[in-house]
């Protein structure tokens, strides 16, 4: 165990499984106080139990403006701040341009892109107030190289990459 994140408050979305869950474990091993946020509260709670460190489970629908604002507020009320936001929640949406129904395309874009936007929008005011904070947005190399039958996923991750670059310019000190 290290201490590179000693006592840092790290909010991770999509942390009930996959990359988010693995990241929550690693952040905790580095001394972070981890907020394991997921749309599936049971999965988040299971992750917290497995971590065995300072961690809390929170339910969040990253596509809901109210959910994201409420979560950011709860985290700040409980821990006093948010040092790191890791926007990891996402869905894949498998299909090529002909197979992917518009509803699925919209859902992937809503979760993967709007979710990053809303969660960041909810957390950034607290970071600006403290004049510090880090944001990690999960994208994918698929945004640049493509992958068969991942048209909506690739588009969403390309949008996350572009949004991240713009946020970097807007929010840099």
Cα-to-chain-centroid distance, residue 58: 13
Q: By C-alpha distance, which of 77, 18, 1, 131 is closest to 36?
A: 18
pLDDT (tens digit per residue) in 135-157: 999 999 999 999 999 999 999 99
**Does pTM top 0.95 for this prediction?**
yes
**Looking at residue 2, what is its pLDDT?**
82
Q: Please say if 117 is a catalytic residue.
A: no
Rounded-to-integer distance, Cα 33 and Cα 21, Å: 14
Give the number of other CB atoms < 10 A from CB of residue 101. Answer: 12
Which tens digits make up the pLDDT trace of 103-141?
999 999 999 999 999 999 999 999 999 999 999 999 999
Q: Is 42 helix (H, G, I), strand (E, B) or coil?
A: helix
- In this prediction, residue 53 carries a pLDDT of 80
Is residue 172 predicted with pLDDT exceeding 80? Answer: yes
Mean pLDDT, residues 27-46 taken together = 98
Asked whether the predicted pLDDT for residue 44 surpasses 90, the reply is yes
CATH of domain 9-171: 3.40.50.720
Q: Can you give the pLDDT at residue 77?
A: 99
Average model confidence (pLDDT) for the chain? 97
Annotated active-site residue in 47, 86, 153, 160: 153
Residue 114 DSSP label: I
The pLDDT of residue 1: 66
Q: How many CB atoms lie within 10 A of CB 103?
A: 8
Mean pLDDT confidence for 156-160: 99
DSSP 112: I
């Amino acid at each position: 165990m290290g201490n590179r994140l000693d006592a840092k408050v790290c909010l991770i979305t999509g942390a009930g499984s996959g990359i988010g869950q693995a990241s929550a474990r690693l952040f905790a091993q580095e001394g972070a106080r981890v907020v394991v946020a997921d749309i599936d509260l049971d999965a988040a709670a299971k992750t917290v139990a497995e971590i065995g460190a300072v961690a809390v489970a929170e339910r969040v629908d990253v596509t809901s403006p109210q959910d994201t604002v409420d979560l950011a507020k709860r985290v700040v009320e409980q821990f006093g701040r948010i040092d790191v936001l890791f926007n990891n929640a996402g869905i894949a949406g498998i299909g090529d341009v002909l197979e992917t129904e518009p509803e699925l395309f919209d859902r992937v874009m809503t979760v993967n892109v709007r979710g990053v936007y809303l969660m960041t929008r909810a957390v950034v005011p607290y970071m600006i107030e403290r004049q510090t904070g880090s944001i990690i947005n999960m994208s994918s190399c698929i945004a640049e190289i493509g992958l068969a039958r991942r048209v909506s996923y690739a588009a969403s991750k390309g949008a996350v990459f572009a949004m991240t670059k713009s946020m970097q310019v807007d929010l840099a000190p």
